[in-house]
Chains A and B, each alone.
Chain A
């Protein structure tokens, strides 16, 4: 399986945030996107997830046999918000996403195993809204485990997490990569992952109409 971005260009309103972003990821590889606030890290991830249209360029996933796969169905997107309902119990939230995002292969951890994997055993019966911000983030990470999808797009995954959970998160991503998954993460913090590629967005904006400028 291979994820390929070709000359992606994205913008917010009139200012071009990034241009000529190209990379290739294969099984077991991770890409960390860095850059100052407003450099377009979130925009890049949303473009990759298909939630925003790229100005030009494209992002594709190809299976092991070379056939193109629909990005949305093989990708987990973890945005700034956790995509969990405060009114529902943790287990109900996870069970919903498990059933909703169930992949063809049917792989993925059980709800309890996923909650244990983020070291929050015993909170399954609590309403999601009762958890602290860090615990909520960890449950949001558990969502990535209950339904297996090969590519993870993570936007500030460690926001609100303490040091110990940072480590836990790095372990989860490592395990995912070791299984042949891929991950693209936008973050300010070092994730403690070794052997990852990095992509730096400079954050120097320009008006969409101005002359071309190199961003590499």
Chain B
């Protein structure tokens, strides 16, 4: 399984890999907001966490459809599927983990830079980073299910996004509300953050199982 993690990370970071694509898209989305909104610093600071979260969500969706499709096209998926059920679930889990390390973690690391663009305070930026750290893995695990369902479709990218968006909405809601709660005084930070973490753990357990079932069913 370590071999699989290493291989997927190597592919993501080589030329044509998805790792930088997500971050660049994130940068592009967030960087144009101040130009569109205008130089109202208070407004920017207020909507900053939400914009960062929306940007991160969209950037995570980008490239999710390739999660299994790339393996299917070169035949690797057949060999990955030739395992017993538990090993297959573990394989999907590791692939999600590699996907998150390659595309989700860079978003978390890029967040402080974009926080500056949005005139966010250090505390606010820290809260967004922490919630992204807890929330983006959930998007990878949810996305694996969509990617597995659409694996046989030639242009499944948009379908994957539409399939998983409803499931990703709670992640967005609790991620943003926890980020706001960190800087708005009477609101408590921990309850929404705990729910966000619970959602992430829930999908980390359920996502690989569902995705493995979808892959088994889709094999032709």
Chain A residues engaging chain B, CB cutoff 8 angstroms: 46, 49-52, 70, 72-73, 75, 77, 79-88, 92, 95-97, 99-101
Which of A50, A82, A87 is within 8 Å of B11, CB to CB? Answer: A87
User: Is B83 engaged at the interface, CB distance under 8 Å to the other chain?
Assistant: yes
Given A87-B16, A99-B3; A81-B84 close (CB under 8 Å): no
Interface centre among A72, A79, A88 (most CB of B within 10 A): A72
How many A-B contacts at CB < 8 Å in the complex? 66
User: Is B121 engaged at the interface, CB distance under 8 Å to the other chain?
Assistant: no
- Inter-chain contact B82/A96, CB cutoff 8 Å: no
Give the distance in Å from the alpha carbon of A79 to the alpha carbon of B78 in the complex. Answer: 8
Given A50-B82, A51-B219, A100-B4; A79-B15 close (CB under 8 Å): no
- Chain B residues 81 to 100 lying within 8 A of chain A, measured CB to CB, are 81-84
Give the distance in Å from the alpha carbon of A82 to the alpha carbon of B79 in the complex. Answer: 10
Pairs A–B under 8 Å by Cβ, sample size 19: A49-B82, A51-B82, A52-B219, A72-B82, A73-B83, A73-B84, A79-B78, A81-B74, A82-B75, A83-B74, A83-B79, A85-B11, A87-B16, A88-B10, A88-B14, A96-B6, A97-B79, A99-B3, A100-B4
Give the distance in Å from the alpha carbon of A80 to the alpha carbon of B77 in the complex. Answer: 13
| Main SS at interface, chain A | loop
Report chain B residues within 8 Å CB of A51: 78, 81-82, 219
- Inter-chain contact A87/B15, CB cutoff 8 Å: yes
**B58-87: contact bitstring with A at CB < 8 Å (1 yes, 0 no)?**
000000000000000111101101111000
Interface centre among B74, B82, B84 (most CB of A within 10 A): B82
Q: Shortest CB–CB separation between residue B194 and chain A, in angstroms? A: 37
Report chain B residues within 8 Å CB of A85: 7, 11, 74, 76
Report chain A residues within 8 Å CB of B7: 85, 88, 92, 96
**B6-36: contact bitstring with A at CB < 8 Å (1 yes, 0 no)?**
1100110011110000000000000000000
- Inter-chain contact B15/A75, CB cutoff 8 Å: no
Report chain B residues within 8 Å CB of A87: 10-11, 14-17
Give the distance in Å from the alpha carbon of A50 to the alpha carbon of B4 in the complex. Answer: 22
- Inter-chain contact B10/A92, CB cutoff 8 Å: yes
Give the distance in Å from the alpha carbon of A206 to the alpha carbon of B130 in the complex. Answer: 61
